[in-house]
Amino acid sequence: MTTDARPAHTQSTTHWQRFSVPYEFPVVFTEGVFDPENTALREVLCRYEPAKRHRVVVFVDDGLSAGKPPLVEAINTYAERHRDVIDLACPPVVVPGGEKIKSELHFVEGFQQTLFDLHIDRHSYVIAVGGGAVLDAVGLVASTTHRGVRHIRIPTTVLAQNDSGVGVKNGVNLHGVKNFVGTFAPPFAVLNDLRFIISLPERDKIAGMAEAVKVSLIRDAEFFTWIERHSDELATFERPAMATMIRRCAELHMRQISQGGDPFESGSARPLDYGHWSAHKLESLTRHHLRHGEAVAIGMALDARYSVLAGLLPQGEEERICALLEYLGFELWHPALARTATNGEWVVLEGLKDFQEHLGGELTVTLLAGIGTGVEVHEIDLERMREAMIWLQQRASA
Ligand SMILES: NC(=O)c1ccc[n+]([C@@H]2O[C@H](COP(=O)([O-])OP(=O)(O)OC[C@H]3O[C@@H](n4cnc5c(N)ncnc54)[C@H](O)[C@@H]3O)[C@@H](O)[C@H]2O)c1
Ligand SMILES: [Zn+2]
């Protein structure tokens, strides 16, 4: 603390309170996280108090609970096997997977009620096993109950393993705005288990790859070329290629958060959100019929073309990006893009305003100055963006 001593006549004295809190959490890549012999979960639970029996509540995405062998049973067996350190406060709680859990606030309240009923305290653990939506909703509950209960994420989709699960954000939707309510709250640990990806529907396997293309486009040209070279294997979901893609993408996201200088996004930039301003709007416009990754693929194609029109990206590179996305299985147009308001304006363009409002400050959109090089701009020429939309529309109908 420092005291800003001023002459007595000014009457105000300012004491500057300053401290910093180091954050660190393990991101473990494993297989068969609930196999009784696998000690990864046990080890993270015991990180601080190895001799203690830890109280644990597990929330499980219902997209997984139907799998074979039944996941809920596997979690019960795991807890029983490791009962010297795990005290399962109640049987695993199965919760709705997908955007529904983020779009109806009663779910959040219901989970908080569960934690209240079970007398969960700040040294207990709330574990979320599921896709990005379940992680976001349960993460919000964990970070707000008692102002923060230890939270472990076990992401089960490509997107959650390579992007959202290793991040520091959570949130739910309100007033039709994505992630309107949420917190920045680093998890206690993340456990990525590739086996979960096997049961994932193809549509979600494809959707998650959008974030890998995204991070390669803004940060790592070599990774983009790797994705291009392995697009056959990725398009058919071959395991080694999927594993490499997920891990590299997760590493790049982790690096951005730890070394990008603004982990809690207090500035005006959202450096990892290339292609996202229109994607978030499209998700709302389609009432989440489009997956996040599917919308991001369209958003990236749009902003790639805009980058060319703005003279930032060499002509032809946008086609290369679109070709890769399509090869991986994405469609780069959705009818909701063409929706217009009563004044004739494309509704999706409102996404620019929403994007700015989410953070406040100056509008900051990431565009491309080359493959592997993101660049932040603070102005979008709407006429040029309309042109980019028409290009995308014509391309889709060609
Ligand atoms: N917090 C962040 O930093 C951040 C970053 C990116 C995205 N997100 C959010 O993540 C959400 C999207 O997450 P997502 O792409 O993981 O999709 P999702 O969570 O919506 O899940 C998609 C579907 O897959 C099912 N599912 C999950 N795992 C499965 C498995 N292994 N096998 C079979 N089915 C399974 C779910 O039940 C759901 O029906 C969006 O809400 C997005 O806003 C958050
Ligand atoms: Zn995203």
pLDDT in tens, 309-356: 999 999 999 999 999 999 999 999 999 999 998 888 899 998 888 877
Ligand 1, atom 41: closest residue by C-alpha: 133
Span 2-30, average pLDDT: 83
Q: 188-192, 269-273, 390-394: which range is least confident on average?
A: 269-273
- Token pair, residue 317, equals 């590179």
- The number of beta carbons lying within 10 Å of the beta carbon of residue 207 is 26
How far is 33 from 191, CA to CA, in rounded Å?
A: 8
- State whether the beta carbon of 205 lies less than 6 angstroms from ligand 1: no
Question: Which one of 62, 134, 135, 136 would you pick to mutate in the ligand 1 pocket, going by the greatest count of ligand atoms within 8 A of its CB?
Answer: 136
Please provide the average confidence, as pLDDT, over all residues in the chain: 93
Q: Is the pLDDT of residue 67 over 80?
A: no
CA of 330 to the centre of ligand 2 (A): 15
- State whether the beta carbon of 292 lies less than 6 angstroms from ligand 1: yes
Pick the ligand that lies closest to the CA of residue 279.
2
Reported as a pLDDT band with limits 50, 70 and 90, residue 113 is very high
Q: Give the Å distances, CA to CA, from 67 to 94, 177, 201.
A: 13, 32, 12
Indicate the Cα dihedral angle 260, 264, 267, 273, nearest 10°.
Answer: 70
- State whether the beta carbon of 192 lies less than 6 angstroms from ligand 1: no
DSSP string, 79-136: HHHTTTTEEESSSPEEE--STHHHH-THHHHHHHHHHHHTT--TTSEEEEEESHHHHH
CA of 97 to the centre of ligand 1 (A): 7
How far is 140 from 115, CA to CA, in rounded Å?
A: 13
- State whether the beta carbon of 153 lies less than 6 angstroms from ligand 1: no
- State whether the beta carbon of 200 lies less than 6 angstroms from ligand 1: yes
CA of 98 to the centre of ligand 1 (A): 6
Reported as a pLDDT band with limits 50, 70 and 90, residue 5 is low
Share of the chain above pLDDT 70, in %: 96
Reported as a pLDDT band with limits 50, 70 and 90, residue 51 is very high
Share of the chain above pLDDT 90, in %: 83
Q: Is the pLDDT of residue 204 over 90?
A: yes
How far is 280 from 198, CA to CA, in rounded Å?
A: 27
CA of 255 to the centre of ligand 1 (A): 22
Nearest atom, ligand 1, residue 61 CA = 37
Ligand 1, atom 20: closest residue by C-alpha: 98
Pick the ligand that lies closest to the CA of residue 178.
1
CA of 131 to the centre of ligand 1 (A): 3
Span 254-279, average pLDDT: 86
Reported as a pLDDT band with limits 50, 70 and 90, residue 220 is very high
CA of 156 to the centre of ligand 1 (A): 8
CA of 211 to the centre of ligand 2 (A): 6
Nearest atom, ligand 1, residue 99 CA = 20
Span 137-154, average pLDDT: 98
CA of 360 to the centre of ligand 1 (A): 27
* CB contact set of 324 (below 8 Å; sequence gap of 6+): 213, 224, 227, 228, 231
Q: Is the pLDDT of residue 21 over 60?
A: yes
- State whether the beta carbon of 161 lies less than 6 angstroms from ligand 1: no
CA of 237 to the centre of ligand 2 (A): 20
